[in-house]
Chain A
Amino acid sequence: MEYPTTVEDAVALLAKHGDRAMFLAGGTDLLPNMKHGLFEPEVVIGLGAIEDMKGIRKDKDGSLHIGAMTSLTEVARSQLITEAAPALAQAASVVAGPQIRNMGTLGGNVMLDTRCQWYNQSHFWRKSLGYCLKKDGTVCHVIEGGKKCVAAASNDTAPALMTLAAELHFLSPSGEVALPIEELWKADGTWNKNVGPDALLVSVHLPALSGPHGGAYLKLRERNAIDFPQLGIAARLGFAEDGSIFEAAVAATALGPRPILLQSTTKLLAGTTPGESNFEEALLELCAKAHKQLSPLANIPGDETYRKRMVPIFLKRALVLAAQP
């Protein structure tokens, strides 16, 4: 266990220990995974003592800076965020349960390992199964004969951040990197990120938005607390002065390995006005499109056919909520 106090020290420590080490944010995902034998780091680099990675502030240009080690509770309760990025506040407020939100961080949720019913199990269980593609095995149990791991991105905050065009600031041994959040993900469930495990997510930036905006995050889960998403849909709408929509963004999580930002949503919704029939029509079209494009897999608990059926319904509901600024 190491507890560095600066981001530079943290990154240097990880570089020093290499593959044997891992960063530990809130620990609410890493610790269960370690207990399951999914990760066996010899050195854990705790980030809790790095004060620079905590807190939420508004910069001069109106953008929001959120330290990656800011707790999900703080993100959910922050007035700055509930006003400027309601979808993010809502997403943070429905992660797991209260204790985990107190411990868990925004950075940790963004960098969350993918999940799968054949993977997030004990060593005994996985051994009895004969392991799987993501860890220790060669077979995928989700897609028969599958050669690529399709464990699900299960982070609630990811789609919300995608609709907000968040920029992620990493520090790695090779220097600082700023990455638009859509570019973080790749479709590989074993490691679904385009940065290496040696890159430390330091902060999340939300660019200032012009004009009034509405946002919402809706989560499909069996219980109203504790559960990971079986589907998560975030929506954001930007309004012109006349109340019509001028921009729109929709993203979803808990499908396959990547959270997905739906394309051409602005094209479909721009110019329509909530409460008017043009909005209703565009909404229907968008929902139909989403239903085609967003396909949950049989990776996490929850019947995938049902989850797919919920895509247009959750999308419609999220957009209706987002349309109430």
Chain B
Amino acid sequence: MRAYRLEVNGDKIEIAAPEHWTLLEVLRYKLGLTGTKQGCDKGDCGACTVLVDGEPELACLLLPGAVEGKKILTIEGLAPAHRCRGGEGADPIQESFDEAGALQCGFCQPGVMLSARALLNREPHPSCEQIADSLSGNLCRCTGYKQIYDAVEAAADKEAELKTQGAD
């Protein structure tokens, strides 16, 4: 066992876990944050994507010790963070995925949504190509990606609108 000090979804947590466990196992089986999914456990599918200091990384290939001192955001933290910023409902990404029908089985989508969140943080008005590139490490087996693209574009529009309203 090894003790870790992690910052997950804004909470500072001390947790002990077997030394060979990855961040994915710690999140899922120690912290109960089961929204981060395991699809392959070998870095091939992207279902376990979390944001580490704002960038998408694969929890199944991260040793928890390597992310001590960094900010980890999982799907469970997305809506609360949006609410902390004074937003309504869930994060615009989550709302748009729901509205566009992008959530079929929903298993890969926590990872997809976090990759999309990181993209919009970096590039508020992404091109189709940028969206495809940014999501190319997240395999989805249900949608054929079309409704995901629609959702990301809608979220970008929604956020632009919110920004305009904020400026008023």
Contact = CB atoms under 8 A, between A and B. Distances in A.
B49 A99 contact: yes
Contact of B134 (A31, A96, A98): A98
Interface residues of A, number: 23
A28 B65 contact: no
A302 B46 CA distance: 23
Given A27-B66, A226-B44, A99 B2 contact: no
Given A35-B42, A102-B57, A44 B137 contact: no
Interface in B23-70: 41-44, 46, 49, 52, 55-58, 60-63, 65-66
A3 B4 CA distance: 13
Nearest to A35: B42
A54 to B, nearest CB: 13
B96 interface: no
Interface residues of B, number: 29
Interface in A1-43: 1, 3, 24, 27-28, 31-32, 34-35
B137 A225 contact: yes
Interface string A54-84: 0000000000000000000100000000000
A124 B9 CA distance: 37
Given A97-B137, A98-B133, A98-B134, A1 B41 contact: no
A31 B59 CA distance: 11
A102 B61 contact: no
B22 interface: yes
A32 B58 contact: no
Contacts of B22: 31
Nearest to B41: A35
Nearest to B119: A98
A69 to B, nearest CB: 11
Contacts of A24: 63, 66
B56 A98 contact: yes
Nearest to A36: B42
Interface of A: 1, 3, 24, 27-28, 31-32, 34-35, 44, 46, 48, 73, 96-100, 102-103, 224-226
Interface of B: 2, 19-20, 22, 41-44, 46, 49, 52, 55-58, 60-63, 65-66, 115, 133-139
Given A27-B66, A98-B135, 17 more contacts: A1-B2, A1-B19, A1-B65, A24-B66, A27-B61, A31-B22, A32-B42, A34-B20, A44-B63, A96-B43, A97-B136, A102-B57, A103-B57, A224-B136, A225-B136, A225-B137, A226-B44
